[in-house]
Structure 1
Amino acid sequence: MEKHEGGEWKMRFVNLKKIMWGCLAFVSTVLSVMGYYPLIPAVYGVYCLDSEHTVLFYIGLFAGMGYFISIPSMCKYLFIIAVISFVIRLYKWKNEKNICLVTSITAAVSTAVMNMSVAAFTDFENVKCVLAVSEGLIVFSAAFVFCRGYEYISAFRFKVREETGGLLPDREEAFRSAVFGLSGIITRANAMTAAENESKLPDTGERISREVTGRLCACCEGCSVCWTSDASVSDSIKMLVEAVCKRMKTEEIVQNRYVKGCPHYARMVEAANEAFARVELNEAWYRRLTENRRIIASQLDAVAQLMDDWGKAEKCIDKRRRLRLSRIYVAAREKGLIVENAHIYETAGHRICIKADVYTKEDGGIEAVKYVQAVSRAMGVQMRQAHETVSIITDELSTVVLYEENQFYALSGVATKKKTGSQANGDSCSMFQLDDGMYHVCVSDGMGSGKQAQAESTLVVDLLEKLLEAGFSRESALKLMNSAMVISAGEESYSTVDFATIDMYTGELELTKTGAAPSFIKSGKGVSVIENESLPAGVDAAQESVHSKNTLQSGDFLVMVTDGVLEYLHVKDRQEKLMDIIAGVKSDNAGVLAQEILDRVLLDTGGYAMDDMTVVAIGIWEK
């Protein structure tokens, strides 16, 4: 029913448009200026731009010309119309660049030339020449105004989207709710299981005592004698079990003879050790099960949070910026570019993002930078092209995404030194900027040194980068990375994570440390330290990373180092020493700054690296 009504309204609009073109053609023949009819070529020039032609236009045009215009003038304007039609259609077939200006010039020149030709074959007078040129100027002005208005009206008619961040918001909300619900069920089940086990199960010592007495005392012929004549047997067995739980050596337990007079004491010690081993193994598996449940719950939370972030990340504001949207179509057409399906979005940081399908009819294509310039002029805001988009716009439809240009840009430098005698550097780092204007820096120090440590730190860095590129937030990416490390890491396999995000629009720095060394901010001649204490990644899935926020100004540097840079400085206050080293480097080059810091640290250690060393320097400047 709704589809039928939509089709009916569309048909009514098409019919109304045809009637309006017919009326406009008729009205253009009414206005006369000193015997000339400048609106005829101007209106016809605009009509040539319309893709949907109608016979009503020609009916209105010929009816008006037959009623108001003389036969000679009619022949003149019919010839002008033919010239305009031929030139405009030929030009539109070739390209769409500056079509408004070309239409106006064609209509004006053809009108002026025709008038001059008529004057040359009749009485050639200066007045007629002036009138011919004057009509050409009037035609140019009218055609340009009409063409520009037609372009804006045509662009204004393009379909706009509702203010929503997704195509199926109801389904997205249902998905988020379902995933959050699954996470809550697993978390509650985990808590209930833990509570039940704590309330029902006896402690480890009592469980071992029961197993020992059940296996040996219950089967012993002297059980009734021991337990009736000596009431302290139970306490003696408890002392034996306590010694086993404290991991005393078997020989020492046997020698102490906790249960006196028992002929099966050696077997009792052996049974207690076996029971303790089983209990310990069961508890380890239970802890692992509980940990895995918690990891699954946290991963489900991260996925649900990702869906929530996607829903809030970009909101279409076509309705609020409809005029700007129409200006994009017109400005791009002036560059010879044809835009389809353009939409304006507002990001979570209240920045502009524009997505559109673009192509051109020009041979060889047009540089994408011209489209960026056109959109920037239309929006009144400098725009930049998203990563991994086309550099040349051709006749094939390409989706081009533009973001509002950021205020700052960042340059980074890295200096590394592997542990003396080691085969590989166990530190890894990555620097990258995403389309949302966030510059991310990740430095990881794998436990130990060599290829194993390098593999662990590389895994951390690569995983964080992929998660952020996929659209996960900082917090969700860090939680997923940590839970993945908990699952994959062994008992002695952890990595530190030093993760910084710099907002290239505001210069705001957010630094997250997971067992990482302190970082430093160099601002002019001053140096400040950022130090947060936390466990390395992979120790506990429930651990929370420590965050800190600062604001960087143009010319400031963020210096991030691994433990090996600080730990082996031969001074009492290592942080103060490193701050003096950073302040003493005068270079504004990030690469030089990082290398000189490392070189001066190595001077203090005599050139010997007792651990892997990495220094990362990031400087930001205003564009």
Structure 2
Amino acid sequence: MTVSSREHLPINTEKLLPGARSAALLWQGAALLGGAALGAGQVYGGAAPFGLALVIGCPPAYCVAAALGTLAAGLAFQPALLGIKLGVAAVAAATVRRLVDGSTKAGVLAGCLTLTAAQVIQLLLVGDIQNFSQTVTVGCTALLAAGFGWAFAHFPAREPRGVCLWLAVATACLQRCAAGPLAPGLALAAGAGLCAAMAGTLEQTAVLSIALAAAITASGPALAFAALAVALGSLAAACLCPGERWRCAGVFAAGCTVGALAAPDAVRAVPLAVSAGVGMAAAMALPSGALRRVFPPPAPPVQAQGLSGAARKLSGVVDALSDIADTVNAVCQRQMPPKGECFDFVVEQVARTTCQSCTRRSRCWVRGYATAMDGLYHLKPVLESRGRVEVQDLPGQLSVCIHPADLCTAANHGYRLWRSRRQNRARAQMLRTALTEQYSALAGALAQLAGKLGQAGLPDPRRESRVAQLFAGLGLEALECSVTADLAGRLTASVTICRTHFTREEVAGLTEEMSRLCRRDMDLPEITHCRTVTMLTFGERPLFAAQFGAAAHAAAGQSVSGDALDQFCDTSGRAQMLLCDGMGTGRAAAVDGQMAAKLTAQLLRAGFAAESAARLVNVALGLKGAEQEAGATLDLLTVDLYTGRAGLFKAGAAPSFLVRGGVPRMLDGASLPMGVLDSLVGRSSTFALDAGDWVVLVSDGALADGSDWLMQQLQLCARLGHTPKQAAETVADAAARRAGEKRDDITVAVLALSRR
């Protein structure tokens, strides 16, 4: 059998696809009924575009059935001449699409040109040239049919915009089926709007309500007030109580009642009441599951998903680090008791090396056991004081020993081993404690970062697009661009571009333009250059501004100060001021102070909280001081420039001072320096600041004569209107004069808050 003969064999479609023929017949019937329903609809002015639009926009396989339905509806429900013209245009469009070209464009040309040609022929044959209104009606029908046909083809019903389009068309067509006080189109608009308010978003509700209101107004201008009332009720429900069924219904009813006040008279308000009530009852009867299928919850933006995923991963890392610290401690505590950590180790060493092979072993260790043990324990003070014993140091209890020199050698060797074991165990314990403390501190810090990531706001795509267009207009294509709002509503914009240098004037102009685009008062950006790219981070301008001042004097006879100070404002709108005082004076103290200040500042800039940063620095100082004493105090002030809330963390630092209204008061808290104990013992306090307030941090060298004179000096500086820099220099110079030759390291740091 040849291939050509196979092509003429009948194919049993029913065997290949069971039910395919029945489904095809059902779709043809649906197209016929759809053409009949849409062909009966009209809009203001008598235009009837929907049936012809269905023929133009439906798939070519169903256009003939839709044309037949449109022809029947036009003859039955439209004016005679207009119905005939519409029927002829629909048949022409279906014929062209079915036999020549199935595209929407071909249907538009065939249907609209046929409708226009029919109107021209009528004008020429009948001579009714003065009937301008009928010509306008036909022209509007052709234009609207072309537009709706294109929309039917490009907006399928499975998409949200397609659903909105079909609901609007159905609303307009159902107005022809009004029965008494019931307006079916208005009832459909009321039910759809309430469903969107209960299960959809505010944006979906707004678009749907406006589209349906326009459809009602176009199909029945007398119901324009009713369309306004239904749209008002839907939008009010979506704004005030989204997702709450009964409250949405109550607000919707109240909105419709308010909209009914626009009715020309009380009789006209009856169709609104009846139709809105029917639509509301139908919406309330729908189950929640059906509404969720129609209005699925929107997926969170990609960036938000990424932040949430990062927060979850960080939380997992936190749990793992905490478990490691707990496991290490538990294993070390449950292991076998340590051996050789008492003086018995030295006694056993002597007995094993010297007395084991001695001929008098049984006499000394059996009959004279107590005497031998007492004599050996008398060697402990000598060994601890001098590190070794000689023959002349042997007590009377050991005078019977026949190998005194060997006994002394064994005792000295055993003592050295014992001391070495104790040192190794102490060092191992210290390292283990530092390790577990570091795990715990890092876990706490990461937990805080995870919390911040989990609370990060959602991105703003519209502002991101504007910002990207701004940089593109400047010839700087944005490699990355994000605009997010935190839980407090504050915007942060981050832009990454190719490495570029900006002048101060350019940065100021760029900030002004960013403020205009984002409609927020943005602050100057933080600019970071990294290899081939430049990152700009804009934040909202805080309510307060921080002014810093500092002054320092080294200890008498020293060229460097053991105090270390850092003052800065980070990208999160916080002012940070930290003061570290290394133990002692000179270079050794300066190393400890600078190390503590540098590490703390780096951790704070990375987003760590004060206590977590201090715990990590405490571990670093503890490890550094394993062989020699090391430590540093920490005074850390953090001020939220958006709210004025301040936090003060102290670890062994000198008292601080708050100056408010020209009156100083002391801020103190008992604590221990960093690097002294295995775990940090600090103290935190919080308080509120306002414009004009000062916070003063000092090292202990400034308080050599107490704090009363310093508070008086601060009060005088405040009354004289000194700047923070002038106040710090005045206090530091006065402290240096009062200390004289006994001067310790002196550092005074001042933070003044002012409104922008």
TM-score over 0.5 for the alignment? yes
Partner deviation per Cα, 1:586-605 (whole Å, 9 max, x = no partner): 34311111111122223322
Q: Does 1:520 align with 2:653?
A: no
User: Paired residue for 2:713, among 581, 585, 595?
Assistant: 581
Q: Does 1:484 align with 2:620?
A: yes
Q: Distance in 2 between matches of 1:160 and 1:609?
A: 69
Q: What is the aligned partner in structure 2 of residue 14 from structure 1? A: none
Q: Distance in 1 between matches of 2:315 and 2:354?
A: 57
Contact persistence 2:314–2:450 (CA under 8 A): no
Q: Does 1:597 align with 2:731?
A: yes
Q: Distance in 1 between matches of 2:517 and 2:358?
A: 97
User: Paired residue for 1:259, among 383, 397, 402?
Assistant: 397
Structure 1 residues 563 and 603: alpha-carbon distance in aligned structure 2, compared to 1, 3 A threshold:
same
Q: Distance in 2 between matches of 1:254 and 1:532?
A: 56
Report the structure number with the largest CA radius of gyration: 2
* Mapping for residues 355-366 of structure 1, pairs under 5 Å: 355-356=494-495
Structure 1 residues 175 and 265: alpha-carbon distance in aligned structure 2, compared to 1, 3 A threshold:
farther
User: Paired residue for 1:529, among 650, 663, 666?
Assistant: 666
Partner deviation per Cα, 1:543-573 (whole Å, 9 max, x = no partner): 233222222222121111112222x32xxxx
Q: Distance in 2 between matches of 1:371 and 1:506?
A: 26
Structure 1 residues 357 and 255: alpha-carbon distance in aligned structure 2, compared to 1, 3 A threshold:
closer
Q: Does 1:416 align with 2:552?
A: yes
The sequence identity of aligned pairs, in percent, is 23
Q: Distance in 1 between matches of 2:489 and 2:359?
A: 84
Q: What is the aligned partner in structure 2 of residue 226 from structure 1? A: 364
User: Paired residue for 1:538, among 675, 678, 688?
Assistant: 675
Q: What is the aligned partner in structure 2 of residue 277 from structure 1? A: 416
Q: Does 1:287 align with 2:457?
A: no
Contact persistence 1:564–1:612 (CA under 8 A): yes
Q: Distance in 2 between matches of 1:268 and 1:521?
A: 69
Q: What SS does structure 1 have at the residue aligned with 2:707?
A: helix
Partner deviation per Cα, 1:230-276 (whole Å, 9 max, x = no partner): 34225414632553576478679965826343435565455445433
Q: Distance in 2 between matches of 1:406 and 1:499?
A: 21
Q: Distance in 2 between matches of 1:386 and 1:462?
A: 23
Post-superposition shift, 1:331? 9.1
Q: Could you tell me which runs of 5 or more consecutive residues in structure 2 were left unpaired when the two chains were aligned.
A: 1-52, 58-103, 120-297
* Mapping for residues 245-394 of structure 1, pairs under 5 Å: 247=385, 255=393, 257=395, 259-263=397-401, 264=403, 268=407, 271-305=410-444, 307-314=446-453, 317-318=457-458, 342-347=481-486, 351-356=490-495, 367-377=506-516, 379-388=518-527
AA of the residue aligned to 1:385: L
TM-score normalised by the chain length of structure 1: 0.63
Q: Distance in 1 between matches of 2:464 and 2:634?
A: 44
Post-superposition shift, 1:365? 13
Q: Distance in 1 between matches of 2:343 and 2:496?
A: 72
Partner deviation per Cα, 1:110-146 (whole Å, 9 max, x = no partner): xxxxxxxxxxxxxxxxxxxxxxxxxxxxxxxxxxxxx
Contact persistence 1:414–1:615 (CA under 8 A): yes
Structure 1 residues 498 and 203: alpha-carbon distance in aligned structure 2, compared to 1, 3 A threshold:
same
Q: Which moved more, 1:469-478 or 1:433-442?
A: 469-478
Structure 1 residues 324 and 185: alpha-carbon distance in aligned structure 2, compared to 1, 3 A threshold:
closer
TM-score normalised by the chain length of structure 2: 0.53
Q: Does 1:181 align with 2:320?
A: yes
Partner deviation per Cα, 1:129-182 (whole Å, 9 max, x = no partner): xxxxxxxxxxxxxxxxxxxxxxxxxxxxxx996276573754663465256425
AA of the residue aligned to 1:355: S
AA of the residue aligned to 1:619: A
Q: Distance in 2 between matches of 1:579 and 1:318?
A: 47
Q: What is the aligned partner in structure 1 of residue 351 from structure 2? A: 213
Q: Distance in 2 between matches of 1:266 and 1:500?
A: 65
Post-superposition shift, 1:433? 1.0
Q: Distance in 1 between matches of 2:480 and 2:366?
A: 93
Contact persistence 1:187–1:294 (CA under 8 A): no
Q: What SS does structure 1 have at the residue aligned with 2:596?
A: helix
Post-superposition shift, 1:192? 2.0
Q: What is the aligned partner in structure 1 of residue 641 from structure 2? A: 504
AA of the residue aligned to 2:675: G
Q: Which moved more, 1:326-335 or 1:490-499?
A: 326-335
Q: What SS does structure 2 have at the residue aligned with 1:216?
A: helix
Post-superposition shift, 1:403? 1.2
Q: Distance in 2 between matches of 1:216 and 1:535?
A: 50
Q: Which moved more, 1:445-454 or 1:301-310?
A: 301-310
Structure 1 residues 254 and 550: alpha-carbon distance in aligned structure 2, compared to 1, 3 A threshold:
farther
Structure 1 residues 243 and 333: alpha-carbon distance in aligned structure 2, compared to 1, 3 A threshold:
closer
Q: Distance in 2 between matches of 1:534 and 1:289?
A: 27
Q: What is the aligned partner in structure 2 of residue 405 from structure 1? A: 541
Contact persistence 1:446–1:453 (CA under 8 A): yes
Q: Distance in 2 between matches of 1:356 and 1:516?
A: 40
Post-superposition shift, 1:308? 4.3
Q: Which has the higher contact order (CA 8 A, sep 6+)?
A: 1
Q: What SS does structure 1 have at the residue aligned with 2:642?
A: coil
Post-superposition shift, 1:461? 1.6
Post-superposition shift, 1:516? 1.9
Q: What SS does structure 2 have at the residue aligned with 1:593?
A: helix
Q: Which moved more, 1:449-458 or 1:343-352?
A: 343-352
Q: Does 1:468 align with 2:604?
A: yes
The alignment yields a C-alpha RMSD, in angstroms, of 4.3
Contact persistence 1:180–1:301 (CA under 8 A): no
Q: Which moved more, 1:515-524 or 1:175-184?
A: 175-184
Structure 1 residues 195 and 262: alpha-carbon distance in aligned structure 2, compared to 1, 3 A threshold:
farther
Contact persistence 1:565–1:601 (CA under 8 A): yes
Q: Distance in 2 between matches of 1:241 and 1:350?
A: 75
User: Paired residue for 2:378, among 197, 220, 240?
Assistant: 240
Q: Which moved more, 1:365-374 or 1:465-474?
A: 365-374
Post-superposition shift, 1:436? 0.3
Post-superposition shift, 1:219? 3.1
Q: Distance in 2 between matches of 1:531 and 1:253?
A: 59
Partner deviation per Cα, 1:462-491 (whole Å, 9 max, x = no partner): 222222223333333222222222222342
Structure 1 residues 349 and 428: alpha-carbon distance in aligned structure 2, compared to 1, 3 A threshold:
farther
Q: Which moved more, 1:466-475 or 1:405-414?
A: 466-475
AA of the residue aligned to 1:471: G
Q: What SS does structure 1 have at the residue aligned with 2:378?
A: helix
Q: Could you tell me which runs of 5 or more consecutive residues in structure 1 were left unpaired when the two chains were aligned.
A: 1-18, 24-54, 69-158, 391-395
Q: Which moved more, 1:592-601 or 1:178-187?
A: 178-187
Contact persistence 1:431–1:442 (CA under 8 A): yes
Q: What is the aligned partner in structure 1 of residue 219 from structure 2? A: none
Q: Does 1:559 align with 2:686?
A: no
Instruction: Please identify which structure carries the higher strand content.
Output: 1
Contact persistence 2:622–2:630 (CA under 8 A): no
Structure 1 residues 388 and 339: alpha-carbon distance in aligned structure 2, compared to 1, 3 A threshold:
closer
Q: Distance in 1 between matches of 2:504 and 2:613?
A: 40
